[in-house]
A and B are shown apart, each in its own frame.
Chain A
Amino acid sequence: MKHSSPIALSVFVVIYLVFLYAPIFLLPIFAFNDSAVIAFPLSGFTLHWFKELWGEDVLFRAATNSLIIAVSTAVLSTCFGVLTARAMARHQFIGKKPIFGLIMAPLFLPEIIIGVSMLIVLLQLGLALSLWTVIIGHTLIATPFSVSILATAFNNMDRSLEEASLDLGETRIGTFRRVILPLVAPGLISSLLIGFIISLDEFVIAFFLTGTDPTLPVYIWSLLRFPSKLPIVMALGFLLLVLSLILLSLFEAARRRSERLTGG
């Protein structure tokens, strides 16, 4: 039995962490650096870039678009996830495997393939690109993740709990609401969260399928082409990081609290 971690391994992990954090360290440095050029040496502290960021109207439109798309994607992929996971866990039906394969297929497809194939259809049908086309694309790629998460939740649930509820006179819908839903609730929340995150950060599909309304990544992409806008991008990136860390901590705190309450 080993008692302490080997030194070589510990050193490797530390170096690896430095590698992981290297790019992120630059975000706050250049977000607060008083120079329009992103280079060393540094010039001094400023909040100027955050002020300028505040003045970017397109940013707010892009952020709103991204939020709408991300929430819709999260809800849709979770609904599909519940339906699929439930069907797979409880029923035997013709075509079960190929159908499941089709729903999970986006896991094995590079995003650009999905973006391109949908673009072809939309162009051939002469349909306009809109937020809806992006939502469809994102739901396609997020659904397999929701299914995986929810399948675990459904498979872990003891079937006799459901039977007990029916035995005690509850209806099927009532059983779903009073027994199944609370038991898979942690899975539902994880599924919503993962759908939201996947959609919020997705670029390629959005790049192919957005019309005149950009999403946040598409907007960032357009900024990256203008060197004068780069400090603003740094400021934006820093804000995104801080915001997601705050949200993540709140989520974790809530999870711990509910774990304590349920005695888990």
Chain B
Amino acid sequence: MADFWEKTRDSFAGWRLIGLPFGFGFLLLLTPLLLMVLLSFWTQDYLDLRRDFTLANYREVFTHPVFFTLIKRSLAIALVVTLVTVLLAFPVAYFISFYGGKRKTLLLFLITIPFWTSYLLRIFLWKIILGYNGVINSGLSSLNLIDAPLSFILYNSNAVVLALSHAWAPFAILPIFVSLEKIDRSLLEAGRDLGDSAYRSFFFITLPLAMPGIIAATLIVFIPTIGDYVTPKLVGGTEGLMVANMIQVQFAKANNAPLGASLALVSLCIVMLIALIFLFLNRKYLGRRV
């Protein structure tokens, strides 16, 4: 009985603390999300909203070639960006952690400096580098290497991938660095002591133990890139547009909020699915460890 009261009192104290942030999240995150679900089953009839339950929006999302292409492209771009960013980030994080010595903080600082200005500007600057009379084209033509400006480098998916891989670089480096730092160096020594070559010591000890950081980096990069609005709008042209741009169009110009809501929900489901896969992987690597 005393135990029961003790638990109840603890529960009450916990609730009293977490009540406010929970209420905030419930009212301003969960409720809007549920309303968005509701809206996605309604239809827009010019200026009026028809509140009859229908799957028409979802039918359109999955059958209309434009929507489906955008979703596929967003997924593809996000996966490529994630892969490229994490693959490039790992050696850098490894270098700082294992060879950084006393300059680790300085090196990390050096990595983050380019990111202390507006996200919009960082993306926009790529437009200046890649544009028709941008840095690359004017540089190459002044060297007489090209006659006409290269056009394949801007306003397509490649430019989006490049700009996003740049924008999210430190967010991939930092978690990987942290997980590498956490590796007890005596584990690597134990491996060497038991006859490991440098190769084996990397693939059998370092890499598996860095997995939580790699998975975190993957999620940190993947989730925002699949829903990115700014980058495709600035450097993607028409063939580099992504689903977020279409969602915005539906809510603004097209004035079809229900369709926009269902597009957003379909994207959300894809994100959730992939996040769950990675969280499951993470649990496999991390969950068992204390």
- Max chain B Cβ within 10 angstroms of own Cβ: one of A30, A81, A116, A143: A116
A233 to B117, CA, bound (A): 12
**Contact assessment for A13 and B224 in the assembled complex, using a CB-CB cutoff below 8 Å:** no
A259 to B88, CA, bound (A): 34
**Contact assessment for B166 and A116 in the assembled complex, using a CB-CB cutoff below 8 Å:** no
With A13-B92, A87-B14, A245-B116 as given contacts, are A116 and B24 in contact (CB-CB < 8 Å)? no
What residue of chain A has the Cβ atom nearest to residue B257's Cβ? Answer: A120
Total A-B contacts with CB atoms under 8 angstroms apart: 227
Residues of A with C-beta under 8 A to B20? 79-80, 83
Query: Taking the complex as formed, is A139 at the interface, i.e. its CB lies under 8 A from any CB of chain B?
Result: yes
A35 to B244, CA, bound (A): 35
Q: Which A172-206 residues sit within 8 Å CB-CB of chain B? A: 201, 203-204
**Contact assessment for A248 and B116 in the assembled complex, using a CB-CB cutoff below 8 Å:** yes
CB distance from A80 to the nearest CB of B (A): 4
**Contact assessment for A26 and B128 in the assembled complex, using a CB-CB cutoff below 8 Å:** yes
Query: Taking the complex as formed, is B287 at the interface, i.e. its CB lies under 8 A from any CB of chain A?
Result: no
A20 to B165, CA, bound (A): 10
CB distance from A139 to the nearest CB of B (A): 7
**Contact assessment for B35 and A120 in the assembled complex, using a CB-CB cutoff below 8 Å:** yes
Partner of B111, one of A20, A106, A107, A109: A20
**Contact assessment for A120 and B36 in the assembled complex, using a CB-CB cutoff below 8 Å:** yes
Residues of B with C-beta under 8 A to A204? 229-230, 244
A240 to B122, CA, bound (A): 12
**Contact assessment for B223 and A109 in the assembled complex, using a CB-CB cutoff below 8 Å:** yes
Query: Taking the complex as formed, is A53 at the interface, i.e. its CB lies under 8 A from any CB of chain B?
Result: no
Task: Give the interface SS of chain B, mostly helix, strand, loop or mixed.
Answer: helix
Query: Taking the complex as formed, is B29 at the interface, i.e. its CB lies under 8 A from any CB of chain A?
Result: yes
With A9-B99, A26-B128 as given contacts, are A21 and B230 in contact (CB-CB < 8 Å)? no
A203 to B233, CA, bound (A): 13
Residues of A with C-beta under 8 A to B169? 20
**Contact assessment for A39 and B14 in the assembled complex, using a CB-CB cutoff below 8 Å:** no
Query: Taking the complex as formed, is A129 at the interface, i.e. its CB lies under 8 A from any CB of chain B?
Result: no
What residue of chain B has the Cβ atom nearest to residue A137's Cβ? Answer: B28
**Contact assessment for B17 and A86 in the assembled complex, using a CB-CB cutoff below 8 Å:** yes
**Contact assessment for A102 and B30 in the assembled complex, using a CB-CB cutoff below 8 Å:** yes
Query: Taking the complex as formed, is B261 at the interface, i.e. its CB lies under 8 A from any CB of chain A?
Result: yes
Residues of A with C-beta under 8 A to B88? 16
A241 to B125, CA, bound (A): 14
Residues of B with C-beta under 8 A to A238? 117
Partner of B113, one of A2, A24, A110, A208: A24
CB distance from A50 to the nearest CB of B (A): 16
Partner of B138, one of A39, A81, A90: A39
A204 to B125, CA, bound (A): 18
Query: Taking the complex as formed, is A226 at the interface, i.e. its CB lies under 8 A from any CB of chain B?
Result: no
Residues of B with C-beta under 8 A to A105? 25, 29
User: What sequence of 0s and 1s flags, for each residue 224-241 of chain A, a beta carbon within 8 Å of any chain B beta carbon?
Assistant: 100000000100111011
Q: Can you pick out 19 interface pairs between chain A and chain B where the beta carbons lie within 8 Å of each other?
A: A1-B192, A4-B99, A20-B111, A21-B113, A23-B128, A38-B128, A40-B139, A80-B20, A93-B14, A96-B14, A102-B26, A108-B223, A108-B272, A110-B227, A110-B228, A143-B21, A216-B118, A237-B117, A245-B116
7 further A-B contacts with Cβ under 8 Å, apart from A103-B22, A110-B224, are: A23-B128, A39-B133, A91-B17, A102-B22, A110-B244, A111-B227, A237-B117
The 8 closest A-B pairs by CB, nearest first: A110-B227, A91-B14, A93-B14, A23-B125, A87-B17, A117-B32, A5-B99, A80-B21
